[in-house]
Amino acid sequence: MIFAEVVGTVVATRRADGIAGAKYLLVEQCSHRGKGRGRYHVALDVVNAGVGELVMIAQGSSCRQTSLSDRKPVDALICGIVDLVDEQGQVVFRK
């Protein structure tokens, strides 16, 4: 999984096999310390992530392994909200 920060929302009313109740968030890829890299993706949110939070993004078929995204055409999923990253015994990110 890669790190990303939630930076916004994407609205798309016409969709393939619409996912009722799903929220598409705009996320910016980050370093493991939470620093943005200027690369943006759209990810489905199933954990109620909020703008400013550091999250983990799962890509590919792994995204469909939740009840909400099962059998849906989605290839990026927010699969966890990061509380803390420890690198070599040092906390390099804390929520």
Binding region for its own copies (CB under 8 A): 1-3, 7-17, 24, 26, 31-32, 40-43, 46-48, 51, 56, 58-67, 69, 71-89, 92
User: In terms of Cα–Cα distance, which of 94, 67, 53, 79 is closest to 1?
Assistant: 79
Q: How far is the CB of 11 from its own copies (least distance, A)?
A: 4
Buried/exposed 26-61: b ≥16 CB within 10 Å, e otherwise: bbbbbeeebeeeeeebebbbbeebeeebbbbbbeee
At 23, list the tokens.
């929220």
20 or 32: CB nearest its own copies? 32
Q: How far is the CB of 21 from its own copies (least distance, A)?
A: 14
20 or 73: CB nearest its own copies? 73
